[in-house]
Structure 1
């Protein structure tokens, strides 16, 4: 398995950011704080806004835990970063932006996701599909800083058409492209997803140096094991249960498509996308002061009915 890719520069590889993962057990999501030990500046990656679908209750417990950690460590928050518009949890980017003033960012292809889901929700023309809900939209290969650390953006579509990974020193935040080796790879059957694109994104990640630390976006704890979220390129290449079975694009697409046909849609996809393509902001309150989510019926394939 190989592919040409621009790996982080040698100076970046000498940098080792401090990475702290926070497991959110309701959705199996991992939030991250990545910090420059030299300047004490940091970024938050993929923060979660708590949501209970049974009661419709929202809360900021998970996001506040990130802020408490940042305060305890004496860090200064520079960025609030999302890797893609999530389908199984609400992003807390909007809440954290209001709370801290730190800029928010996501990949530039989010505008395509906005256009797609705007049609699904039948939203009015007044909803902007230009990514203006974030402070910055990143292109493939774009670079920015967290303190003195160089960060490179890698376009990694497949799970969604807007997915990006962040390469920070010797660490790569690869969202839902690869899970831990015993869980395999991410599904690619959401609107705009592609198993072929996912394979190419995996090749880009696997072309990074063997020791690159990989931090995944979810862990569903197969066989009830404890949550895990850190691996390496070498470990994934050797042990990932999908990559050891599928050595070619054709084999991988067949494996991924067969697996995806067995999976129900995420329980929160219709709720989460309308929040997450709005920069992690809940719908505006209506005349009675309450907020409402809009659920389109019969909009997605993927329901698995019991006999």
Structure 2
């Protein structure tokens, strides 16, 4: 390598030497060099150029034999480097001080909130709200997504909760300038009612029902009285991050103050809901990791040799993205 450098240096100028050394290199956003055959010198800063030269000298200063172990290490290094240079504009890391909660939220363009009419949801709108929630909410709610619940099997389940939310006049519906629903905030007052046997539930929804009962058991007894339960919130995709969800949450807070409710309780199954709750002043009461929750109604199978039941973890697929379900409380 030294002989090659000396030949190049004697025959050509310093700039040409640097250009030839940096030709197979490209710097990513982390300042690391990765293989690239057409990397123009003009794209690199002087510091990056020097780092590239140091990288070349380090890489080729000592010829080492290629063993199976070093080959695998090189492959892993290239794989990790390939992952690091993926576009970072798709996600933003969010950390809430004092809570210990940290996660990545999808970056979406902040759009100005269009004209919407946000009013108290009436019982006469129940059918329309149920259809809206089945169409827009089911696809984006993490628990329902993990269970792969279809709109057909979820309709009676959604109708039960919508009817419960509309009885107290604590829910809100937003409509655009054409009168179409573009957002729904479902709230209820007091403890959750028992779901009757007339509500037909599939095995998937029975699993969801058990999980909701499990999370509700962590609400302190002191909050079981005059409290607002946040059931669900959903806005159109084209209005995400526009302020519509925050506006409906503020209307919920105003309702709680007006009716002298002391607490607001929410179960947040995903990052977006958690971020909105923390933004509105909710605090974390209990965290239920998806890796640890076991469905008490089902099991994957039974091993006769070991004489034990294989537990069923229905929300394990959410562990990497959303980590856990969170019981949140806000004092009014």
What TM-score range do you get, normalising by the shorter chain? under 0.3
Larger RCO of the pair (alpha carbons < 8 Å, separation 6+): 1
**Larger Cα Rg: Structure 1 or Structure 2?**
2
TM-score by length of 1: 0.27
Q: Which has the higher helix share?
A: 2
TM-score using structure 2 length: 0.26
